[in-house]
């Protein structure tokens, strides 16, 4: 018998000072049985970093040719394609051909550096691609906040984040490995 996804609810209060975006979102996430709490929370953070009324979660780890998150316009064209982790370089290039902007929120400590060194030469040419690294300590701390029901306040300013859940807080500086040249 196949294991079912775990459903988590998250109420986010997002204050993105850099974009002038201040909104609350009530989200439902499905955590695939093979997905860790850390990865699910990094997906949630990716939502906060790119929050928009049209941004939605993909179908998850079992859905090929779909991102972790995406934003489509009224015609269905993909405006933004968002992946978390260390995606395959060929898949990233394909995504760059399908979407106006592609964002990768990489995490995993030393593994990020190894991955980036291996794919950098081929991905540097992708104008619409942005690659951002979340520090290992921050991704692990986010994983500790995972729960079936969450209330989080997320503040983003000048590449720094502050995530507060009422009893604890996580502060981290994002590191931009590659900045895209596409409009937000």
Average pLDDT over residues 166-183: 87
125-154 per-position pLDDT tens digit: 999 999 999 999 999 999 999 999 999 999
Average pLDDT over residues 153-168: 95
CB contact burial 33-72 (16+ within 10 A = b; e otherwise): eebebbbbbbbbbbbbbbbbeebebbebbeeeeebbbbbe
The percent of residues in the chain predicted with pLDDT above 90, rounded, is 85
The confidence score (pLDDT) of residue 184 equals: 45
Q: Is the pLDDT of residue 168 over 90?
A: yes
Least reliable range by pLDDT among 16-30, 117-131, 168-182: 168-182
The confidence score (pLDDT) of residue 62 equals: 56
Enter the pTM of the model. 0.93
16-74 per-position pLDDT tens digit: 999 999 999 999 998 888 899 999 999 999 999 999 999 999 876 555 678 999 999 99
Written out in words, the top-level CATH class of the domain with range 6-178 is alpha beta
Q: Judge contact between 154 and 13, C-beta under 8 A.
A: yes
């Amino acid at each position: 018998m196949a294991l079912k996804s775990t459903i988590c609810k998250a109420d986010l209060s997002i204050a993105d000072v850099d974009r002038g975006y201040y909104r609350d979102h009530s989200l439902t996430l499905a955590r695939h049985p093979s997905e860790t709490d850390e990865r699910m929370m990094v997906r949630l953070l990716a939502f906060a970093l790119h929050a928009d009324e049209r941004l939605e979660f993909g179908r998850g780890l079992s859905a090929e040719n779909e991102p972790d998150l995406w934003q489509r316009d009224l015609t269905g064209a993909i405006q933004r394609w968002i992946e978390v982790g260390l995606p395959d370089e060929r898949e990233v290039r394909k995504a760059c051909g399908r979407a106006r902007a592609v964002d990768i929120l990489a995490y995993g400590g030393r593994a990020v550096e190894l991955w980036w060194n291996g794919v950098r030469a081929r991905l540097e040419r992708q104008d619409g691609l942005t690659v951002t690294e979340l520090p290992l300590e921050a991704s692990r701390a986010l994983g500790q906040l995972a729960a079936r029901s969450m209330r989080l306040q997320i503040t983003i300013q000048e590449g720094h984040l502050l995530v507060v859940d009422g009893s604890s807080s996580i502060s981290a500086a994002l590191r931009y490995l590659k900045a895209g040249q596409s409009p937000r």
